[in-house]
Amino acid sequence: MFNFFKRHPKPFNSGYLPTKDGHDVFFQEIGNPTGKPILVFHGGPGSQYKPKHAKMFNLKKYRIIGFDQRGSGQSKPYGKTENNTTGDILKDAKRLLDSLKIKKCMVSGVSWGSTVALLFAQKYPETVSQLAVGSIFLARDKDEDWCFNQSRIFYPDMMEKITSNAPSDYMTYYANLLKSKTQKDRIKAKRLLGEYESMVGSLNPSFSTETPTEEDIKKFGIFMHYSTHDYFLKDNQILNDTKKIKHIPTLILHNRLDMNCPVEQAWELHKALPKSKLIIVPELGHGGDLMRKTIKTTFGKFLK
């Protein structure tokens, strides 16, 4: 029999946190209302929490709590960058747990979600019982440089399209195009630089010929807002602060051929956390269904 719930888990609770700094943050809970709570950070920046993220875990056993970061998903206003920083994300997450009367929980995230999950644990270590993170992004200068510069050694043809007729500081150039009042400029930024990150790791990359929607452009605008502000972090902040979370059991998963975030990032994190377990998945690309499946099959065993 076709199991609709299994494919599309539905929330048992959802709503908005009280307005803060001009932002209304949307949240939802999926799974067992009386189960062990897991706070999930979504990727991006600029993406959103989706029910499929909850499928990484046993929905009969866990209470999955997710929220759309400021300016993203169902949070309002969509695309707003004012009062939108990494620190704000962490405070919203703590506000969410406090509103749900959760004093301690597991914390998880993939890609940018792993970044903010680790930062949350470092800021509120007393709140985190375990960590499960994947597709590690440490948000250092060299990590960003790899994704949008050094990776060109594998994609010189794609990068040429991005950098031709653009100044040497093409990141700032495209960031400014996104702020242009001319729609043609905003579309150009999203269609070129905005698509590059998603195609890194692809064996058959190509730029889309479809015109991006204004929603797509605003989503990329959130990403560029964080990228051009160094993710509102000090360089190497996460590894420098691992001493704050050395006591927390941590599961780390990473795809072997992740071209967006090379596996070295996961390795360095693992070596800095004595209570961590690293599983390198023999998979091409960044994140993906195999990553979610691996977390689901290993997380329960890791916590025993």
What string of H, E and C letters represents the secondary structure of 11-46?
EEEEEECCCECCEECEEEEEECCCCEEEEEECCCCC
Q: From its phi and psi, is residue 151 left (phi > 0), alpha (psi between -120 and 50) or beta?
A: alpha
What does the DSSP assignment read for 57-115? S-TTTEEEEEEPPTTSTTSBSTT--TT--HHHHHHHHHHHHHHTT---EEEEEETHHHH
**Which element (helix H / strand E) includes 251?**
strand 250-257
Which sequence positions are flagged as catalytic?
111, 258, 286
Based on the number of CB atoms within 10 Å of its own CB, is 50 exposed (0-12), middle (13-18) or buried (19 or more)?
Answer: middle
Based on the number of CB atoms within 10 Å of its own CB, is 109 exposed (0-12), middle (13-18) or buried (19 or more)?
Answer: buried
Q: Is beta strand 36-41 parallel, antiparallel or unpaired with respect to 105-110?
A: parallel
